[in-house]
Chain A
Amino acid sequence: MFKLEARPQPSRLMSCASPLIALAITVLIGVCLFIWLGKDPVKGLEIFFVEPLKNAQAISELAVKAVPLLLIALGLAVCVRANVWNIGAEGQYLLGAVAASWVAMQAGPGTGRWIVVAILLAGVIGGAIWSGIVAFLKDRFNANEILVSLMLVYVGQQLLDFLVYGPWKDPDGYNFPQTITFLSVTKIPRLMVGYRANIGVIIAIVAVAALWVFLFRTYRGFQLQVGGMAPAAARYAGFSSRSALWIGLLISGGMAGLAGALEVAGPMGQLTPYLSVGYGFAAIIVAFVGRLHPVGIVFSSLLMSLFYIGGELAQSRLGLPKAMTSVFQGLLLFTLLGCDTLILNRLRWIGVGKPKHSEEA
């Protein structure tokens, strides 16, 4: 029988090992799932972990999906570290895309390449406005940010639907709910000809570095995290909880909006109602699996991207529902939270049959 007891100090080793153990457990459950569904588990694992890495084209596709996850998760990590629970990144992502689309649709024959900058900026602003509403309502009226940010996801989706079914519908689009295809001048520049991966990759890498510096080298970043860890200590020190709220939400909203702009002016090239594929929610998992650390999030976003591509492949190759991706994502976060217990606690063997001490009667 094992007993769970507090460690004198948090374990650094477990802090890094826990996501790996969680991944192993998730894969194990995945194998069982494949067997249960009558599919070859080796083939299943291959589709999820080998196929998406087999050549340059595949890796480019991996990056296409990892970039939005990475950007959104970085912002969410800042938020969670400030103990602000923004779970509506999906809505901020959509609004970023909407704002970016509006700019993209203004392009005409004489527009220069500078418009890409304006599109990205619009994305940031769109996302930040959506999360700014959350910050405002929390700051001014103390309204719970978890619920408000989530409600705004639904509102954002309806707003998007309204635009593409209504005023922004392509007049020559055979009545499909979508905007015009954006002019090629608005297209986010690609890294290499023939591959869909674009400069979003570079933006994401810069963002990782910038947020690392912000969190661990600047006083502002320090203040924000103290507010998250110990609100009373932040008040004592004189760090403003309001500014932590606003900074956290504006950064995460802006990053989500940027991801939306990159997506809509990148691989999509037009605004459709099917923009939302759950990146905003998956990014919550990415942030936690990446230990809320910018470098950790790089790895976890790549992992989550594998899940996305694996899910698509499993659909086309094995005829499994695409939702398998979200099953794995949810499982991963679940097992991770369980394994994280071992960071602050350790298991101690207390012999067979002895009653558990830590138990109340």
Chain B
Amino acid sequence: MESWALQAAATLNAGTVLALAGLGLLINERAGIVNLGAEGIMLMAAFAGFATGVHTGSDLMGFLAGGAMGAVLAATLGYLVIWLNANQYATGLALSLFGSGFSAFAGIKYTQEKLGPRPHFEIPGLSKIPFLGTALFKQHPMVYLAIALAVVIAWFLYRSRSGLVLRAIGENPESAHALGYPVRRIRLAAVVTGGALCGLAGAYLSVIYTPLWVEGMVSGKGWIALALTTFATWRPGRILLGAYLFGGVTMLQFHLQGQGVQIPSQFLTMLPYLATIAVLVLISRNPAWIRANMPASLGKAFFPEG
């Protein structure tokens, strides 16, 4: 029983990285911008967060550094695709390639470093509940923050006027421009916010989840987060659900390995990637459904006249 509770707790923890990044990418895509640089942003932020954590001894500073790194990189991408009209896919790829290269380059000094003793959190009272306490209430605050964030983003998108403007721009930037909305600035704001969240996800990975710095440590989580937005049909609640689902798959592989199941470890390591493919196949089968949910301007350039 207790082992299942620990399993559930680990799932939440693993899912948080994907949830933060997925929510960030959701904001990007709601504004019509695909950010294929997520993987690179997360790597850079994981490095920046870890290095800051090592030097300052503060996890919070690490998170801030990761978020800031994500915001700056995303701003670069945003400038290129929104103002200079560069191809969104190519620019995102460039960012991913640059991010993985630069983080490996700059992070080489930190591969031997360690952060101070990792903090332990529990919610007084609730954490004493049998099973549920271990499963749900002994998590890092960031786990709860991710859930809160999903709620806030859902409220923002569907209940606030600014969220309506964001959705409108993602659907039809030309019309939004005609009505006088500063389409490019709002898109940039969305891209920067999304980048900051991806950065936070990267920092959480290296500062809390792992916690260490290894070259290429994001190992595809940025890409999986991108797949999550499709899986979730661009809805915040479903992002959360998908993130925990993938967190569960990741945990399953460790669990199976721990149980001594006779499957070569390489096949277990493949699981999250195969699961991503499976999910994409299942969700994309009906193109009409995707089209009805997808922000209509996604991936397309917008260049105002005048």
Q: Is the CB of A338 within 8 A of B84?
A: yes
Q: Is the CB of B98 within 8 A of A334?
A: yes
Given contacts A327-B101, A340-B86, contact A150 B220 (CB under 8 A): yes
A218 CA to B126 CA, complexed, in Å: 70
A3 CA to B267 CA, complexed, in Å: 54
A-B CB contacts (within 8 Å), total count: 151
B87 closest partner in A (C-beta): A337
Binary flags per residue of A32-57, CB closer than 8 Å to B gives 1, else 0: 00000000000000000000000000
**Chain A CB within 10 A, most for which of B91, B97, B102, B304:** B97
From B80, B97, B108, B227, A330 is in contact (CB under 8 Å) with B97
Interface: A344 (CB within 8 A): yes
A1 CA to B220 CA, complexed, in Å: 42
Interface: B124 (CB within 8 A): no
A4 CA to B97 CA, complexed, in Å: 28
Interface: B215 (CB within 8 A): yes
A193 to chain B: which residues have CB within 8 Å?
none
Q: Is the CB of A333 within 8 A of B94?
A: yes
**Chain A CB within 10 A, most for which of B36, B76, B98, B277:** B277
From A147, A323, A338, B227 is in contact (CB under 8 Å) with A147
Q: Is the CB of A148 within 8 A of B280?
A: yes
Given contacts A87-B93, A333-B97, contact A143 B281 (CB under 8 A): yes
Give the number of residues in B that approach A within 8 Å (Cβ atoms).
Answer: 57
Interface: A162 (CB within 8 A): yes
Q: Is the CB of A330 within 8 A of B102?
A: yes
Q: Is the CB of B306 within 8 A of A358?
A: yes
Query: Can you name 6 extra interface pairs (CB under 8 A) apart from A154-B219, A158-B269, A329-B97?
Result: A142-B287, A143-B284, A147-B223, A323-B215, A330-B97, A337-B80
Q: Is the CB of B89 within 8 A of A330?
A: no
B285 to chain A: which residues have CB within 8 Å?
141-142
Binary flags per residue of A318-361, CB closer than 8 Å to B gives 1, else 0: 00010111111111011001101100110000000000011011
The 9 closest A-B pairs by CB, nearest first: A330-B98, A326-B101, A323-B104, A162-B266, A323-B105, A333-B94, A341-B84, A158-B266, A337-B86
A158 CA to B253 CA, complexed, in Å: 14
B90 to chain A: which residues have CB within 8 Å?
288, 333, 337
Interface: B128 (CB within 8 A): no
Chain A residues 161 to 183 lying within 8 A of chain B, measured CB to CB, are 161-162, 165-166
Q: Is the CB of A284 within 8 A of B277?
A: no
Interface: B56 (CB within 8 A): no
A346 CA to B267 CA, complexed, in Å: 52
- Please, could you name 6 A-B residue pairs with CB atoms under 8 Å apart, sorted by A? A137-B277, A144-B227, A147-B230, A158-B269, A324-B101, A341-B85
Chain B residues 146 to 193 lying within 8 A of chain A, measured CB to CB, are 177, 180-185
From B94, B182, B230, B290, A361 is in contact (CB under 8 Å) with B182
A270 CA to B40 CA, complexed, in Å: 32
Q: Is the CB of B98 within 8 A of A360?
A: no
Interface: A146 (CB within 8 A): yes
Interface: B100 (CB within 8 A): yes
Q: Is the CB of A144 within 8 A of B284?
A: yes
B274 to chain A: which residues have CB within 8 Å?
151, 155
Q: Is the CB of A360 within 8 A of B277?
A: no
A152 CA to B227 CA, complexed, in Å: 14
**Chain B CB within 10 A, most for which of A6, A321, A323:** A323
Q: Is the CB of A155 within 8 A of B273?
A: yes
A358 CA to B306 CA, complexed, in Å: 6
Q: Is the CB of B86 within 8 A of A341?
A: yes
Enumerate chain A interface residues (CB-CB to B < 8 A). Answer: 4, 6, 85, 87, 137, 141-144, 146-148, 150-152, 154-155, 158-159, 161-162, 165-166, 281-282, 284-285, 288, 321, 323-331, 333-334, 337-338, 340-341, 344-345, 357-358, 360-361
Q: Is the CB of B94 within 8 A of A337?
A: yes
A143 to chain B: which residues have CB within 8 Å?
277, 280-281, 284
Q: Is the CB of B277 within 8 A of A334?
A: no
A239 CA to B277 CA, complexed, in Å: 28
Q: Is the CB of B306 within 8 A of A285?
A: no
Interface: B99 (CB within 8 A): yes
Q: Is the CB of A323 within 8 A of B220?
A: no
Q: How far is the CB of A91 from chain B (nearest CB, A)?
A: 10
Q: Is the CB of B281 within 8 A of A323?
A: no
From B36, B108, B304, A360 is in contact (CB under 8 Å) with B304
Q: Is the CB of B267 within 8 A of A162?
A: yes
Interface: B7 (CB within 8 A): no
Chain B residues 207 to 251 lying within 8 A of chain A, measured CB to CB, are 215, 219-220, 223, 226-227, 230
Q: Is the CB of B273 within 8 A of A151?
A: yes
Interface: B270 (CB within 8 A): yes
B184 to chain A: which residues have CB within 8 Å?
360
Q: Is the CB of A148 within 8 A of B277?
A: yes
Q: Is the CB of A284 within 8 A of B93?
A: yes
Chain B residues 69 to 125 lying within 8 A of chain A, measured CB to CB, are 76, 80, 83-87, 89-91, 93-95, 97-102, 104-105, 108
A324 closest partner in B (C-beta): B105
**Chain A CB within 10 A, most for which of B90, B182, B219, B276:** B90
**Chain A CB within 10 A, most for which of B80, B220, B226, B266:** B266
Q: How far is the CB of B140 from chain A (nearest CB, A)?
A: 27
A326 CA to B40 CA, complexed, in Å: 12
B84 closest partner in A (C-beta): A341
Chain B residues 240 to 299 lying within 8 A of chain A, measured CB to CB, are 264, 266-267, 269-270, 273-274, 276-277, 280-282, 284-285, 287, 290
B105 to chain A: which residues have CB within 8 Å?
321, 323-324, 326-327
A360 CA to B80 CA, complexed, in Å: 17
